[in-house]
Amino acid sequence: MFEGINAITFSKRFTNNKEWYNYLIAIKWSKGFQCSKCNCEESYRGRTYYYRRCKQCGYDESVTDNTLFHGMKVQAAMKKDKNDKLNGKVDIDETLIGGYPSAVGRSIETKSALLVEVKILPDGRTGNIQMQPIENFKADTLKFAIKNCV
């Protein structure tokens, strides 16, 4: 769905919630509505334009229902206070994002460097995750970035 799109392109494409909802509507209901409760394929407008109400059972289904974006948990996580630091056991790795597939190696000429930090819970599950852009992979840069988030 978002292959090849980076965060900057994403934010330029979807400047408001209406654009975002229209995009999701075009994807989720491109082949028509199907109620997730009773599988009925007939609907009419629900409580807002991005809801569909099932004609059979009356279920009001949002375009975000049964998706990663349900309850907009992604946006809530992105608004998290930047002063919150991860603590305990934290796994950290750096990676490159964006750019062209033909660019090889760890070159930041056509790609952006990103540091990913993941809290590991006592039972081994993944806890909170933080990501931050970094300028390069030099030791001093990494040391500062890690100290900033852990």
pLDDT at 111: 79
Q: CA quadruple 48, 63, 21, 8: dihedral positive or negative?
A: positive
User: Starting from the edge strand earliest in sequence, which strands make up the sheet with 89-97, in order?
Assistant: 89-97, 112-120, 126-134
Place of tokens 């609907």: 43
| Distance, CA of 25 to CA of 100 (rounded, Å) | 29
pLDDT digits (tens, 9 = 90+) for 42-64: 999 999 999 999 999 999 999 98
Taking phi first (over 0 means left), then psi (-120 to 50 degrees means alpha), and beta for anything else, what does residue 20 get?
A: alpha
The low-confidence residues of the chain, meaning pLDDT below 70, are 1-8, 68, 71, 73-83, 99-106
pLDDT at 102: 59
Q: What pTM value is reported for the model?
A: 0.47
